[in-house]
Structure 1
Amino acid sequence: MIDSHFQHVPRLGRHPSRLRLTGTPVITVMLGSIVTALPVIAQSPVMPPFGLLLLLTWRLLRPELWRAWIGLPLGLFDDMASGQPIGSAMFLWTVTLIAIDAVESRMVWRSYRQDWLIATAAIIFCIAGGVFFARITGGGDVKLILVAPQMLWTVLLFPFVVRQCARIDRWRVMA
């Protein structure tokens, strides 16, 4: 008689858990939002908004994964983690996801370069919008030119984040 601890369990036909499929992208975006709370000393904003980067990456990598309303809860978490005025990321992320949906509905096919261009426009929009919301709520006199390096670093970091999300996605769908 074979001991039950040593029986071979086939991997074919098994499915990953529902929590793993739906929770992994949400958790990675939330962790990315928390990264901005790390104590980095700088005279100007240079830390890329990792929560936004991960949100864009998951949306462009797996369009069927989320609806546009996911920007509301994830944006609220980002606002609370980053210290931005409550509602700024909620609004900006939701508008960005709606715009990506509108752009994708008009495209016949999409390439990596187009994804990078879409992400670049979304990054510039969200960072500039964040500066606008910070200024109108009394967050100081932040000039848009001061966040230009942050925009540039974020845009240049996008391909690396896409590659890492693709690795996480392979693990996510694996049984």
Structure 2
Amino acid sequence: MIDRHLRHVSRLGKHPSRFRLAGTPVITVMIGSLSAALPLIAQSPIMPPFGLLLLLSWRLLRPELWRAWIGLPLGLFDDMVSGQPIGSAMFLWTVTLVAIDAVEHRLIWRSYRQDWLIAAVAIIFCIATGLFFARITGGGEVRLLLVAPQMLWTILLFPFIVRQCARIDRWRVMA
């Protein structure tokens, strides 16, 4: 009889660990960046940049979670894993987070559609500028039209990723 009462422990008044609160978003972005290392063969870039998608999702879902400088270490990790020139994601993600901060200070309230528009602009900016960085560092001649399907696929995938981040966030804040 005592054993039955010990199995049920109330979560009221308990708090999740600091690592769970702060580490979960960072780890999910890093896992998203690791998806670039999957052994998929394609003739054109179609795989969405999951690291960027998760970064934008967490930032738009929980604005208080990160400062703009988080783009530097997470971008470095993404650069090392994805094979992009070192510093490109660091620069692009930090500029994107600073721009989102600037837009947020101008808006009184945000809706889901505005978040999607902000993410779409950020995705187009990051993919197009990443292509430019790859081109100027000797990545060959790649046209913007070639990455247009990747941009479209990534923009359309954003609501699903935000929903998954919201699920993870519910688990993250549970005791």
TM bucket by the smaller chain?
A: over 0.9
Question: Tell me, which stretches of 5 or more residues in structure 2 are unaligned?
Answer: none
Question: Tell me, which stretches of 5 or more residues in structure 1 are unaligned?
Answer: none
TM-score (norm 1): 0.97
Deviation of 1:118 (Å): 0.1
TM-score (norm 2): 0.97
Matches within 5 A, 1:72-151: 72-151=72-151
Matches within 5 A, 1:47-86: 47-86=47-86
Q: 1:109 & 1:5 partners in 2: Cα distance?
A: 47
Instruction: Supply the RMSD in Å over aligned alpha carbons.
Output: 1.4
How far does the alpha carbon of each residue in 1:66-124 deviate from its partner, in whole angstroms, 9 at most, with x for none? Answer: 00000000000000010000000000000000000000000000000000000000000
How far does the alpha carbon of each residue in 1:112-162 deviate from its partner, in whole angstroms, 9 at most, with x for none? Answer: 000000000000000001101000100111111100000000000000001
Matches within 5 A, 1:3-22: 6=6, 8-22=8-22
Percent identity between matched residues is 84
The reply to whether residue 154 of structure 1 matches residue 150 of structure 2 is no
In the alignment, what sits opposite 1:46? Answer: 46
Q: 2:154 & 2:91 partners in 1: Cα distance?
A: 20
**Counterpart of 2:37 in 1: which secondary structure?**
coil
Q: 2:66 & 2:30 partners in 1: Cα distance?
A: 15
How far does the alpha carbon of each residue in 1:16-37 deviate from its partner, in whole angstroms, 9 at most, with x for none? Answer: 0100000000000000000011
Q: 1:59 & 1:6 partners in 2: Cα distance?
A: 39
**Counterpart of 2:66 in 1: which secondary structure?**
coil
